[in-house]
């Protein structure tokens, strides 16, 4: 699979990340089959979080792959921490204890990447910096990032944190594309001109922070997928047309739309189906024309000023 740099980490990572949020829906045997299938296709970047399945997803991941040093060296592991029941918590104590739990469940000595999971408005950036320094110096975490954070929150972190912020995981899909639509409708008197993202797309590009789109097939906030959904008839008709044109699946076309953007996104999949994952990975071989990219954008209900 094609690779891209992950921010300023020095890591070359697959353009498709394998999300493990739903891994605990599988048996050990099913998980083993799925994960080995991913690795066979060059998909060795796995995205976790300590809250996924209450930690069960990380535990099952390590059990299914029978984690050993030789297996570990083939993987790029990313996990997230900071979400607790009814709150967010970026305290030094919570970050450090969360990472210890993650490492124990994944049966590894280190994470390649740790993301702060959503913004904590009670964050003390000095505490985060202390936690990151301890984790980095101990070798427990090699690189750091965030999720769902706007430019000013990232700048506040960067004022204190010495390690580069290498990734920002953000919701982005054909139907949830405010970070793209706003900039193209700037200074217009319509809803698409409303700035909901504080210019995060160009901010991340300017600061070499890789955007990792999550829920690339979802509309709303986990309301469902738009592929095959009658609510999005125009979009599905265009996706189907382009799938035939490029000789790939509709899933591949949707993922190729994200990969066509020059920001060099690294979408995070959510599927636990080997066939569908292969269709996502196939998108790394497809380059949509400018005309087809915009045709999909318009079919999704977005407008050009």
Render pLDDT for 102-111 as a digit per residue (tens, 0 to 9).
999 999 999 9
Q: What is the pLDDT, as a whole number, of residue 53?
A: 97
Q: How far apart are CA 28 and CA 145, in angstroms?
A: 30
| CA end-to-end span of the chain | 36
Question: What phi and psi values does residue 148 have, to the nearest 5 degrees?
Answer: 55, 40
Query: The whole model's pTM is what?
Result: 0.97
Q: Is 52 a catalytic residue?
A: yes
Q: What is the predicted pLDDT for the residue at 287?
A: 98
Domain that holds residue 140: 3-299
Query: CA 281 to CA 15: how far, in whole Å?
Result: 8
Given the residues 52, 152, 160, 294, the one annotated as active site: 52
Give domain status of residue 216, yes or no.
yes
| Count of the separate structural domains present in the chain | 1
Q: What is the mean pLDDT of the chain?
A: 97
Strand residue runs (E) in the chain? 3-5, 12-14, 17-19, 45-47, 76-81, 83-84, 87-88, 111-116, 141-147, 165-171, 210-214, 218-219, 224-225, 268-269
% of the chain exceeding 70 in pLDDT: 100
Mean pLDDT across the stretch 166-184? 96
CATH of residue 276: 3.20.20.100
Q: What is the C-alpha separation between 39 and 252, in angstroms, rounded?
A: 19
Residue 305 lies in a domain: no
pLDDT tens string 121-151: 999 999 999 999 999 999 999 999 999 999 9
Judge whether 52 lies within some domain.
yes
Q: How far apart are CA 288 and CA 285, in angstroms?
A: 10
Query: Is there a contact between 119 and 153 (Cβ–Cβ < 8 Å)?
Result: yes
* Residues 153, 207 contacting (CB under 8 angstroms): no
In a domain, 148, yes or no: yes
User: How far apart (Å, rounded) are the C-alpha atoms in residues 227 and 186?
Assistant: 29
In this model, does residue 14 exceed pLDDT 90?
yes
Distance between CA atoms of residues 271 and 47, nearest Å: 12
Q: Is residue 188 part of a domain?
A: yes
Residue 190 pLDDT level (bands cut at 50, 70, 90): confident
pLDDT digits (tens, 9 = 90+) for 287-297: 999 999 999 99
């Amino acid at each position: 699979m094609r690779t891209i740099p992950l921010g300023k980490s020095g890591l070359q990572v697959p353009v498709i990340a394998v999300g493990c949020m739903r891994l605990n829906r599988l048996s050990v045997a099913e998980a083993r089959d799925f994960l080995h299938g991913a690795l066979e296709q060059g998909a060795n970047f796995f995205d976790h979080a300590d809250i996924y399945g209450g930690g069960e997803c990380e535990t099952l991941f390590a059990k299914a792959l029978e984690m050993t040093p030789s297996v570990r060296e083939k993987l790029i592991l990313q996990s997230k921490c900071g979400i607790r029941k009814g709150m967010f918590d970026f305290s030094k104590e919570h970050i450090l204890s969360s990472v210890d739990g993650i490492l124990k469940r994944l049966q590894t000595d280190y994470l390649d990447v740790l993301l702060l999971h959503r913004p904590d408005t009670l964050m003390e950036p000095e505490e985060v910096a202390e936690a990151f320094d301890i984790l980095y110096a101990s070798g427990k975490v090699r690189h750091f990032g965030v999720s769902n954070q706007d430019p000013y929150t990232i700048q506040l972190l960067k004022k204190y944190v010495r390690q580069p912020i290498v990734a920002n995981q953000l919701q982005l899909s054909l139907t949830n594309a405010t970070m793209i639509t706003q900039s193209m409708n700037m200074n217009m008197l319509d809803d698409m001109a409303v700035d909901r993202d504080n210019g995060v797309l160009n901010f991340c590009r300017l600061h070499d922070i890789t955007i990792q789109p999550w829920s690339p097939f979802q509309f709303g906030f986990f309301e469902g997928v738009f592929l095959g959904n009658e609510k999005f008839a125009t979009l599905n008709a265009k996706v189907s047309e382009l799938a035939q044109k490029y000789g790939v699946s509709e899933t591949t076309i949707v993922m190729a739309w994200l990969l066509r953007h020059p920001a060099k996104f690294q979408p995070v999949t959510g599927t636990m189906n080997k066939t569908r994952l292969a269709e996502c990975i196939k998108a790394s071989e497809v380059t949509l024309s400018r005309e087809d990219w915009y045709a999909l954008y318009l079919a999704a209900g977005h407008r050009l000023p």
